């Protein structure tokens, strides 16, 4: 039985948990030995993921002094956004985005947290936790108890930390399928880009298919592919699979690499929802306990931003001995990922299966020479080339209004049934 009382106990050793520990130790190195991180699995562990790392996340890691040297990864320089036969290729404008294997990436972060002074215990699933008058008690599956002032819930989309503290999840839960197959390194359509095909809504759900250049366990070139957006219910698996196989037909050079039998890994995701509690007395939730960007499914940005926000909140709480975490909501709403979420959500509201929606019209519209469109702005925020608050500027919204006005009449004709063509 443990008797030491820690300042912070973190449940979950994925990127959200590790980055919270690293952010805390970056700001307050004297917390070394005062942070206990409990992870259920042995590391490196597998994580179903596209492995796409945005430039914003890379910049966040750099600001924490985390080196990515030697991490197996494929650098990418642009998105390739498809809608049926229409394509746009916005470039990132920097060299900060890449695709990696999550097992390697997460292991790197967890080791970094341990090296900086967090006490990391893998193979230690937490069975439950409760609040006491002067702290938190955590019980692991072997029956050991651990005590701390604060608990960080970093246990991912399937984690139970919200349940232990009566803070139910909000936000739509969806099913994703992910697969991996050998990649011809000469295949130009994905040699240095993250390809996303948004034709998927016409199969009945608001998702997209992705094809990213990645690396296999031995470092061999592979395609990391998958599809998102189906409701989390029985029957979704086969619908998603059919939609994936239909969508890949738009990409014959990728279809040619598909093996005869594809093995898909299903995994849930929950979209970020701003009106949920991100914290309770002495308890703070990070990463996928908050959710992912509903548009692209990017979760690592939420991990990095919420880890930073939680670390600042925790340091303030320890100094003031006020564990209400009242400021956390504001820190999240002013975090870097929030404008991206805001625009993505706007897109999703349009993305109801009735195509075209106005964002897509803007994506694919011929733009005047030298001008940017919505996706160019979104890309600059994703890559970190520009601060994501660029998505709040009057210039950006002026463009949204102008383009909406241009496409709205056609869209209205479409939904009122006076036009038979889809686009």
Binding residue (CB under 6 A) for ligand FAD from 31, 52, 98, 119: 52
The tokens for 32 are 């070394």
Q: Is 14 in the site for ligand FAD (CB under 6 A)?
A: yes
Q: Is 336 in the site for ligand FAD (CB under 6 A)?
A: no
Min dist. Cβ of residue 278 to ligand FAD (A): 13
Q: Is 213 in the site for ligand FAD (CB under 6 A)?
A: no
Taking alpha carbons only, the member of 179, 174, 211 closest to residue 297 is 174
DSSP 250-287: G-HHHHTT--SS--PEEEEEEB--TTS-SEETTEEE-G
Residue number with CB closer to ligand FAD (127 or 349): 127
Q: Is 278 in the site for ligand FAD (CB under 6 A)?
A: no
Q: Is 156 in the site for ligand FAD (CB under 6 A)?
A: yes
Taking alpha carbons only, the member of 339, 380, 392, 391 closest to residue 96 is 380
Residue number with CB closer to ligand FAD (44 or 410): 44
Q: Is 51 in the site for ligand FAD (CB under 6 A)?
A: yes
Omega before 356 cis (within 30°)?
yes
Cα–Cα–Cα angle for 15, 17, 22, rounded to 5 degrees:
85
For tokens 């957006």, name the residue: 229
Q: Is 47 in the site for ligand FAD (CB under 6 A)?
A: yes
Residue number with CB closer to ligand FAD (51 or 344): 51
Options 22-30, 47-55, 196-204, 348-356: segment touching ligand FAD (CB under 6 A): 47-55
Which residue's Cβ has the minimum distance to ligand FAD? 299
Q: Is 305 in the site for ligand FAD (CB under 6 A)?
A: no
C-alpha distances out from residue 174 to 195, 244, 292, 294, 389, Å: 21, 16, 11, 10, 28
| Residues in contact with 240: Cβ distance below 8 Å, sequence separation at least 6, in sequence order | 175, 176, 177, 205, 207, 227, 229, 230, 264
Strands (E), 116-275: 119-121, 126-132, 135-140, 145-153, 173-182, 193-197, 209-215, 221-231, 265-270
Looking at residues 98 to 137 of the shown chain, list those that interact with ligand FAD (rule: CB under 6 A): 125-126
Options 40-48, 90-98, 214-222, 378-386: segment touching ligand FAD (CB under 6 A): 40-48
Min dist. Cβ of residue 147 to ligand FAD (A): 16
The tokens for 410 are 């056609």
Q: Does the CA dihedral 361-343-400-192 come out positive or negative?
A: negative
Site string for ligand FAD, 62-101 (x = CB under 6 A): ----------------------------------------
3-state helix, strand, coil in the chain (%, to 5): 35, 25, 40
Binding residue (CB under 6 A) for ligand FAD from 40, 64, 76, 248: 40
Q: Could you list the residues that contact ligand FAD (CB under 6 A)?
A: 11-17, 38-41, 45, 47-52, 125-126, 154-156, 159-160, 176, 178, 226, 267, 269, 287-288, 292, 297-300, 303
């Amino acid at each position: 039985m443990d008797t030491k009382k820690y300042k912070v106990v973190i449940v979950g050793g994925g990127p959200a948990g590790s980055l919270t520990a690293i952010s805390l130790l970056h700001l307050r190195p004297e917390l070394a030995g005062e942070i206990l991180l409990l992870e259920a699995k042995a590391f490196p562990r597998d994580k179903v993921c596209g492995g796409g790392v945005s430039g914003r996340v890379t910049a966040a890691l750099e600001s924490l002094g985390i080196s990515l040297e030697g991490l197996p990864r494929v650098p990418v320089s642009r998105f390739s956004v498809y809608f049926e036969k229409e394509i746009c290729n916005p470039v990132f404008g920097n060299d900060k985005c890449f695709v990696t294997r999550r097992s390697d990436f997460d292991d790197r972060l967890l080791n970094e947290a341990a090296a900086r002074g967090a006490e990391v215990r893998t193979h230690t699933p937490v069975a439950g936790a409760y609040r006491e008058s002067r702290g938190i008690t955590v019980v692991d599956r072997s029956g050991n108890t651990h005590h701390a002032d604060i608990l960080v819930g970093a246990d991912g989309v399937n984690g139970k930390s919200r349940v232990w503290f009566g803070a139910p999840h909000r936000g739509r839960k969806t099913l994703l399928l992910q697969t991996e197959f050998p990649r011809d390194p000469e295949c130009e359509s994905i040699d240095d880009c993250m390809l996303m095909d948004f034709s998927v809504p016409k199969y009945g759900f608001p998702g997209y298919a992705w094809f990213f250049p990645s690396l296999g366990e031995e470092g061999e070139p592979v395609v990391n592919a998958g599809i998102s957006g189906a409701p989390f219910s029985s029957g979704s698996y086969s619908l998603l699979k059919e939609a994936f196989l239909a969508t890949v037909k738009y990409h014959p050079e990728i279809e040619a690499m598909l093996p005869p039998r594809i093995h898909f890994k299903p995994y849930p995701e929950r979209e970020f929802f701003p009106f949920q509690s991100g914290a309770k007395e002495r308890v703070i939730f990070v990463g996928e306990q908050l959710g992912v960007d509903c548009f692209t499914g990017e979760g690592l940005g939420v991990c990095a931003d919420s880890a930073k926000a939680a670390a600042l909140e925790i340091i303030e709480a320890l100094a003031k001995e006020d564990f209400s975490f009242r400021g956390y909501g504001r820190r999240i709403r002013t975090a870097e990922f929030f404008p991206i979420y805001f625009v993505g959500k706007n897109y999703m509201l349009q993305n109801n299966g009735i195509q075209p929606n106005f964002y897509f019209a803007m994506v694919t519209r011929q733009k005047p020479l030298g001008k940017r469109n919505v996706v160019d702005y979104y890309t600059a925020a994703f890559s970190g080339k520009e601060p994501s608050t660029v998505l709040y500027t009057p210039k950006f919204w002026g463009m949204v209004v102008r383009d909406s006005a241009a496409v709205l009449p056609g869209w209205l004709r479409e939904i009122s049934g006076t036009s038979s063509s889809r686009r």
